[in-house]
Each structure stands twice: as structure tokens, then as C-alpha cells.
Amino acid sequence: MADKKKGNAFTNNPLVKAVGTQKIVVLLVIIVLFAFFSIMSSGFRKYPTIVSIFDYSYYISFMAIGVTFCLITGGVDLSIGTGMICYALFGGYLITRQGMPVIVGILGTLLLGLLMGCINGVLVAVLELPPFIATLGTMMVARGFGSIITGGMSVTWPAASSEQGWFRMLFKINKPGLLLPVGFIWVVIFVILMSLFLNKTRPGRYIIAIGSNKEATRLSGVNVVKYQALAYIISGVFAGIAGIAYAAVFSSSIAPGTGAGLELDAIAGAIIGGTSMTGGCGSIFGTLLGVFVMSMLKSGLPYIGLQANWQQIITGLILILAVFIDVIKNRKLA
């Protein structure tokens, strides 16, 4: 029988097996990157820099958790980058221009994400458009819609010092003498919840099954339209959560028309973490590790003198490399 049992002493180690080879490798990459930047730059070794790595990790993490579900179905959601900015603009608009309480702004941000997720879900699962094209379209829609809401103006969520600034404490406690990246707690909570959801509930199981073999899943009596749409709805809601994290962590104003390309950080993170572009397998915990590679680079590269343009080139190259590794892995399986 050709039941493939391969591997070596490392991959057969029970601990390595339980966690997964790729995750351990990614963890090592994170450690190496951190060591590299620390050696290269004295500024990087400081506590505020580490907090800034976390700052970058929140919104990428939330987008990545969401998009992991789309990737597992064999699809993708490109609308999360401009979407996240659009939802945050909408929430900020409700608070600063309409004078609504912050909680309404937060709910508005989430609702708009949910709505966009539903639209993507209908386009992909019901109307059966290719996910790449459908979400490329909604990516443009989100970008334009964000500008229209605010009349083309930037929006600033209330500052930490203001009366309405409490929401910033959800992600970052920044008082004189006290700087805490508390947003990471939320990330961990959502990683655990969504991991459980993916691996231990019916909807999660069906999302994996759809990515592995959609027709077989359908013939097993599973409502594939519903669960495929659910993946996009999850992605939309998490883009909303990402929008809140983004607004809470960065004190600068949010400009309409931005956000394009941020989805690639999230998608790269998910793929680095072992989620396959071809669907059927993925891990939320792996995605979190992959995101830390991305946010480590985002915050570390400026310290070795590589500014925004270089960061984009490096993000692009890493995305290509991650997908290449995924392609090779699949080739081995076939």
C-alpha cells in the first residue's frame, strides 16, 4: 500500500507534528528577523518599537484571520484593505461629523464590514463570480464609497486625551510611564475563538470541505452556497474589526482613497502561515505567525533605512515567495 508516510527525525517528532513544521519554521523566521533588526539598529531594540510591531500586527491580524477563511474555501478577498479604511472612515464620520457616541461609530464600522461581506458572499457563492474579480470590484467600490461618505475629507477618530478617546485603550494603553500593547489580548482571543470555530464546529468543517472538494461537499448534502458565503461574511466582519483596530492604534487621520495594498499584507501573512491558495487547508494560529513576519518587517525595515517604497517591494517579493512555496508544496502532494 502506498499510504505515504514520509518524514525525518525532525518532522516525526510528536511536538513538531502537533504544531506543524511550517509554523515552527515561521516562528524561527520571526526570531531571526527580530535578532537581525536588533543587531542592525539600536533604535529597534527599544520597548516602544516592540509596541509598534504590535500596533502593526493588530489590523493585519484581523484582516488575515478573516481572509484565511476565504483562502481555505479556495477563494480570496481583495476588498479587505480598502474596505477596512472605508469602514473606519464611516465610523469616524458618524462620531466626528454626526456627533454620535463612539460606540455607535464602532458598531457602524462593523456593520458596514458585515454588509460588504454579505455582498462579496452573494457575488462569489450565489452568483458564482470568480472571487478574485468579484472582490477586486468591491475593493474599488469600497475605496470610492469611503471618499463619498466623508466628502473626500480625512477623518480623525477622537484622540486618546479626549473624553471620547476611551476606545483607544482597548488596543493601546499609552499614559505617561505606561505603554501597553493590550490589543494583542483581543488578537489572541479571536485567534482562539476562530481556531475553535474552524476546526471544531460544523460551519468551519464545511468551509474546509468546500475548499477541498466543493462538489463532493455539495453531494454530501451540505449547503455549500451558505457556507461559502459565510467565509466572505467572516472576512468582511473581520475587516471591520481591523478598521476599528486601525483607528484606535494610529493617532493620525484616516485618508479616503488609501488602504489599497494592505490586503496583501494580510494575504501574505496567511499564506506564510501555511494556508494554501488552492484551498482545503489553513490554520488561524499559523496566520497569526505569518502576520508577525509581516508586521516585523513593516516596523523593522525603516530602522535599517528602507522606507515605504522598499517596504512595498519587499512585501511583493515575500508574497510571491510565499505563494511559490505553496505551489511547490502542492506539487509534492500531487
Partner 1 sequence: MGEVILTMKGIDKSFPGVHALDHVDLEIRKGEVLALMGENGAGKSTLMKVLTGIYKKDSGTITYEGKEIEFANPRDAQAAGVVIVHQELNMMNHLTVAQNIFIGREIMNGKLINDDKMNKEAAKLFDRLNIKIDPTEKMGNLTVGRQQMCEIAKAISHDAKVIIFDEPSAALTESEIEELFKIIRDLRDKGMGIVYISHRMDEIKVITDRVTVMRDGSYVGTLITKESTKDDIINMMVGRVIYEDPKTESNVPKNAPVVLKVENLNAGKMVKNVSFELHKGEILGFSGLMGAGRTETARALFGADPKESGKIYINGQEVDIKNPMDAVKHGIGYLSEDRKRYGIVVGKSVAENSTMATMDEFTNGPFINKKKENDIAQKYVESLKTKTPSVDQLVVNLSGGNQQKVVIAKWLVRNCDILIFDEPTRGIDVGAKSEIYHLMNELVAAGKSIIMISSEMTEILRMSDRIMVMCEGRVTGEIGIEEATQERIMHAATLRK
Name the residues that contact partner 1, by CB under 8 A.
1-5, 196, 200-202, 205-206, 208-209, 211-213, 215-217, 219-222, 280-281, 333
Residue 198 Cβ vs partner 1, minimum distance, rounded to whole Å: 11
Give the span between the Cα atoms of 130 and 124, in whole angstroms: 6
Within 10 Å of residue 83's Cβ, how many Cβ atoms? Answer: 35
Least distance from C-beta 226 to partner 1, angstroms? 13
**DSSP conformational letter for 126:** I
- Partners of 254 in the beta sheet? 155
Beta carbon nearer to partner 1, 97 or 226: 226
The CB-of-180 to partner 1 minimum distance in angstroms stands at 33
Residue 35: CB minimum distance to partner 1, A: 35
| 178-180 and 173-175 strand pairing | antiparallel
- The distance of closest approach from Cβ of residue 211 to partner 1 in the complex, given in angstroms and rounded to an integer, is 7
Tell me how far, at minimum, the Cβ of 201 lies from partner 1, in Å. 6
CB contact set of 286 (below 8 Å; sequence gap of 6+): 20, 22, 23, 26, 270, 273, 274, 275
Residue placing its CB nearer to partner 1 in the complex, 93 or 206: 206
For partner 1, give the closer residue by CB, 175 or 331: 331
Cβ closer to partner 1: 259 or 280? 280
Least distance from partner 1 to the Cβ atom of residue 87, Å: 29
Q: Smallest distance from the beta carbon of 221 to partner 1, in angstroms?
A: 3
Counting every residue, how long is the chain? 334
Category of 128 on φ-ψ map: left (φ > 0), alpha (ψ -120 to 50) or beta: left
Give the residues across from 128 on adjacent strands: none
Q: Give 62-109 as a DSSP string.
A: HHHHHHHHHHHTT---TTHHHHHHHHHHHHHHHHHTT---HHHHHHHH
Query: Smallest gap, in angstroms, from Cβ of residue 220 to partner 1?
Result: 4
Which of these, 231, 239, 236, 222, lies nearest to 204 by C-alpha position?
A: 231
- 158 in Cβ contact with 165 (< 8 Å): yes
Is 146 within 8 Å of 89 (Cβ atoms)? yes
Using DSSP's 3-state secondary structure scheme, residue 179 falls into strand
**Residue 28 vs 327, nearer CB to partner 1:** 327
Question: Cβ-count burial of 109 within 10 angstroms (0-12 exposed, 13-18 middle, 19+ buried)?
Answer: buried
The secondary structure element, H or E, covering residue 146 is helix 131-150
Between the alpha carbon of residue 98 and those of residues 68, 105, 149, the distances in Å are: 35, 10, 12
160 versus 281: smaller Cβ distance to partner 1:
281
Give the nearer residue to partner 1 in terms of CB position, either 74 or 83. Answer: 74
Cβ closest to partner 1, residue 163 vs residue 215: 215
Q: Which is nearer to partner 1, 21 or 251 (CB)?
A: 21
